Chain A
């Protein structure tokens, strides 16, 4: 079965510190991979996406993610976190074979300490 796992339910980092949020996927073939951010009371916003090619992808708001096929991972990183980055982060995957249905991870809540 297709699945996306975010092992960390909640992460707390200090403002200015680096951040890495983990995501692992289980799909029949290499899926398309995404990270979304959800601020309180808001919808989800696409941060970045991976199709193929360069395994390090850049996104909005200074985020990047690295695809590692051998580890079935797509971890999100940011070198220096800002207080406004506090939000819920979702990893998602889809493929051409499932009619556009994206599978979402359970989310990671990011808290930023001043």
Chain B
């Protein structure tokens, strides 16, 4: 039973399209995150939600819009995709402020062509 599951695992799309990535966790955690991992494997936080409330919103283009319908789900919608959006996007969850560490999903590899 996967603790943090993301769909889809792979996403290939053309520039200008709109796409969504979904994330669900069954750990009972109250905080969820989106991280972006670039081609050099650098990890950068994008957003964080705690109990459906946005608490971290890093400097991310407003083409990226997260949505958390409940504390077990966190989705990421991307409008007008650009070549530079190609990356691996990771969802993660934690209890509280992450003092016990994160549980990561297996990632969504987004390729924009």
Binding site for B on A (CB under 8 A): 32, 34, 36, 38, 41-46, 49, 51, 88, 90, 94, 96, 99-102, 104, 106-107
Most buried by B among A41, A46, A100: A100
With A43-B107, A46-B102 as contacts: A99 and B48 at CB distance below 8 Å: yes
Report whether B104 and A102 are in contact in the complex, using a CB–CB cutoff of 8 Å: no
Closest approach, in angstroms, between the C-beta of A92 and any C-beta of chain B? 8
- The verdict on B45 contacting chain A, using a C-beta distance below 8 Å, is yes
Residues of A close to B33: CB separation below 8 A? 100
CA distance A114 to B52 in the complex (A): 48
The CB with the most chain B CB atoms within 10 A, among A88, A96, A104, is that of: A104
Q: Cβ of B90: which chain A residues have Cβ within 8 Å of it?
A: 43-44
Within 8 A of A (CB), among B74-102: 90, 92, 94, 96-102
Contacts of B99 in A (CB 8 A): 32, 51, 94, 96
Decide if A100 touches B98 in the complex (CB within 8 Å). Answer: yes
Is the pair A43, B43 in contact by a Cβ cutoff of 8 Å? no
CB pair A94 B106 closer than 8 Å: no
A32 CA to B99 CA, complexed, in Å: 6
A94 vs B43: C-alpha distance when bound (angstroms): 14
